[in-house]
Structure 1
Amino acid sequence: MRVIRQPGVMQRLARRWQREGVRIGFVPTMGYLHEGHLSLVQVARRAVGRSGRVVVSIYVNPTQFGPGEDLDRYPRDLPRDLRLCREAGVDVVFAPDDQSMYPGLPEGRYSTYVVEEQLSRSMEGAARPGHFRGVTTVVAKLFHLVLPDVAVFGAKDWQQAAVIRRMVDNLNFPVRILVAPTVREPDGLAMSSRNAYLNPDERRQATVLFEAIQLARQKVRSGPKPARQLKQDVARLVASRPRARLDYVEFFDSDTLEPVPQVRPGTHMALAVFVGNTRLIDNAKL
């Protein structure tokens, strides 16, 4: 396995692979890898085959964090990440630094961003202004550097995947986007690098996100329910956990992300909850 730090080196290698007809699978991450990330690596490997190359990027992207968010304390453990990637059969880890990805950013000389203006407005976009501008910008840059045939994202970040798909379609990126299922702990909590922030009591209460999804599923089995009523039910459930605070819950069309007034099986649900000081997200099709 090769570790590459410089964007130019990554792009030259990817161009060489292209010339040789080698398929490239790509998994962008912010590191602190867990089984969910490794499942994306497996999907990428199946997509490109044994003769293809799988690239994992490890980069905590500063432009997708807002003021007061957890950029500085976001968990990092590159040696462990490299070991996991090696064991998973990754061919290249691309781990750039801020200066190489955003030259001149602290001095105000970096001023080019990619913005999706429709799907990114609601939910995470409303709760974290500027977040998706950072996501689309860094993913566009990574696509230009890694030149993947296939890129794999996790369904846990459903809105992010939808925004990336729209960007790829609108800007004619020659890459196929695959969205792999959310990987969960035995008690239902979606795997996330931010779970590391939780103390034991908070970890127990964090299952409320999955319990809310299960509650909504159970409610709509008997027929369509008003979204307003289900939002109230979810809010009451979250409020029953002392350390939990609901940020938002939405019911929407899986493809368009448009909110729906009536919720039925097949409607998508997403929510964000603060557990202590840790903000967690989850989603699922009901």
Structure 2
Amino acid sequence: MHQTVIGLKEEDQESNKYFSIASVPRSKVKLSNLNSPRTKRIAISAHKAMRLHVATVNSFPSALDREEFCWDLLVSSTRDNEVLWEKMSLIQSDDNLKAYLIDYTWKAASQLRGEFVAKACISVPSTYGIGELKHEELENTIKWMLEEARFIHGGIDIKVMGSQGEGRKWGQKKNSFFNNIPILALISSAVECVLLGIMRGHPMDFSEAHFRPRWDHYVSLLENFEKECPSYLEMIWDELKEGVQTGNIPGAAEDAPTTTFNFSALETAGRAAKARKSGTE
């Protein structure tokens, strides 16, 4: 059930003056259609809360829970602001305005995912060294990268893909990942989306239907990684926090085999690196 706002008993002095807001298509909702300063602040607050949720909790919230979830974000993001909280007590009785704010809040999820894909489109070709490949060579290279989630390793360069290197040039020190599994899984899914689009010759729709299962896969993979080799993962987190603004963690194609790691070897390497670092401090 939706949370109920209990607050203002006096008349709200602001005028929303929203023009037939009920007739605005969901795809066309925008902040400029709201004339009330307080309503705009509420919309902005909930929009930011949705972006934070998508990045740090659940990158693909279910459309089935859309109305209740967005209303809860509207409530929770304004509860500590007395002025906005008073305004919310009026909004909850205005079905048209309430629906509009829910639509605007929900839109933030697809916007943030789109930004991740847009950044991946820019960074993927150079990050993985595939910018100059053509046709069959490009397709074979991307297939190889998608197998067993090889592209999940930062700094991979396809120039070492062959039998000598086996793509083991992994571990670039400057990445923008944070100590947060959901956002790492989102980056992985976005990069996979871009790689599949390059391989198929047309952009892939970064939709819930196509990539929610992939995001779930990466969350599970990263949680297992965290459990099996925490020292190694801690070392990686330390490197990632030095960060730059490009991301390069992907996933596997829909029918890709299960990804496997030598967790014992990675944990040993992580402990050794941690010991070396402690010795130099």
Larger Rg: 2
- TM-score (normalizing by structure 2): 0.26
Which structure has the highest helix share of the two? 2
